[in-house]
Amino acid sequence: MGLLADRSIVVTGAGRGLGRAYAVAAAAAGARVVVNDVDEDVARSVGADIESAGGACAVHVGSVADWESADEMIQRCVREFGRIDGLVNNAGSHYLTLPEDDEEVRIRDTVESNVLGTMFCGIHAMRAMIRQGGGGVIINSTSAAQCGVSMVASYGAAKGATNSLTYSWAIDLMKHGIRVNAISATALTRMVGHTLEHRDSPVTWPPETMAPLVLYLLSDLSRALTGQVIRLWGGSLQLIAHPSVTPTLAERETWTVEELDRVFRHELRPHLQPFGRDMEAYPESPETTQSP
């Protein structure tokens, strides 16, 4: 018996890259898999690969960012396989630009695929899981870009939203026995290939290297894990720390601009937070020139 025998799993954006690797690995581990992608050709090709390897699968073509289509995808899983045990919210899109050069169409597309798509599929999946009596797993896809990385502000913001969803869903769904985690996977896919046109990337490993983490999170072995954002960077397994509020650092009956200025220059100075994925301490002199 495979690790996911008798499980019914939906993987979004499964036509290529990481999603394909997750869907193929889940089917090989015994799961019945709904392969979703907005791109019909690649979705059908993955479906054919799974079936020719002896796996059970259904193909759903549609955008995760369409409420009705997301509902239909989850219903398809329930109709064909009798239930839904897991959703891998993998579909997403990405591009590089300086923030001042960003454009409305690309921003909307990024928010739609990464944020609305995650929300729509997650909400329909959790409703179905609750209707069938509770239990189940949702895995969202995030990126260390949410911590702040040059040239991916819109994408990073969308992935930050995905993390917030993960934390809130994990809290609200605990009483239904539904676990919600997010993964920050990295692999040489079409997405990373696009960035290589603009800058070097150390990512050389294939998407299949990320699949064991998804299998583990989908399985009962990880039944004690929820609300976690887990990063796999090549062979390095890391956790993305939960954003948190510091203890009160200064308190006044009422604040004035002058008092805020004094406190920020002196008392709060050692507490200023580093920002961005790669910064270790708040910069010594971040003062910028201001427009007149």
Q: Which residues does the annotation mark as catalytic?
A: 155
Rule CB under 6 A: which of 120-159 touch ligand NAD?
141, 143
Q: Between 103 and 261, whose beta carbon lies closer to ligand NAD?
A: 103
Query: How do 136-141 and 178-185 pair as beta strands?
Result: parallel
The yes or no reply on residue 160 touching ligand NAD (CB under 6 A) is no
The yes or no reply on residue 13 touching ligand NAD (CB under 6 A) is yes
| Alpha-helical segments (H) within 146-280 | 153-173, 190-196, 211-218, 257-265
Q: Between 19 and 160, whose beta carbon lies closer to ligand NAD?
A: 19
State how far the Cα of 250 lies from the Cα of 174, in Å rounded to an integer: 36
* 230 neighbors 15 (Cβ within 8 angstroms): no
The yes or no reply on residue 107 touching ligand NAD (CB under 6 A) is no
Q: Which two tokens stand for residue 252?
A: 């006044």
Instruction: Give strand pairing partners of 139.
Output: 88, 181
The residue within the footprint of ligand NAD, chosen from 4, 10, 16, 26 (CB under 6 A), is 16
Count of residues binding ligand NAD (CB under 6 A)? 33
| Alpha-helical segments (H) within 174-210 | 190-196
The yes or no reply on residue 90 touching ligand NAD (CB under 6 A) is yes
CB of 280 to ligand NAD, least distance (A): 22
* 87 neighbors 9 (Cβ within 8 angstroms): yes
Count CB neighbours of 94 within 10 A.
Answer: 21
Q: Which two tokens stand for residue 22?
A: 């997750």
The residue within the footprint of ligand NAD, chosen from 10, 25, 38, 73 (CB under 6 A), is 38
The residue within the footprint of ligand NAD, chosen from 26, 50, 147, 191 (CB under 6 A), is 191
CB of 60 to ligand NAD, least distance (A): 9
The yes or no reply on residue 108 touching ligand NAD (CB under 6 A) is no
- Identify which of 151, 147, 146, 154 has the alpha carbon closest to the alpha carbon of residue 199: 151
Rule CB under 6 A: which of 195-224 touch ligand NAD?
203
The residue within the footprint of ligand NAD, chosen from 23, 26, 91, 170 (CB under 6 A), is 91
Rg of the Cα atoms in the chain = 21
The yes or no reply on residue 186 touching ligand NAD (CB under 6 A) is yes
State how far the Cα of 256 lies from the Cα of 263, in Å rounded to an integer: 11
Instruction: Give strand pairing partners of 60.
Output: 36
Q: Could you tell me which stretch among 26-34, 61-69, 125-133, 168-176 binds ligand NAD (CB under 6 A)?
A: 61-69
Binding stretches for ligand NAD (CB under 6 A): 12-13, 15-19, 36-39, 42, 63-65, 90-94, 113, 117, 141, 143, 184-187, 189-192, 203
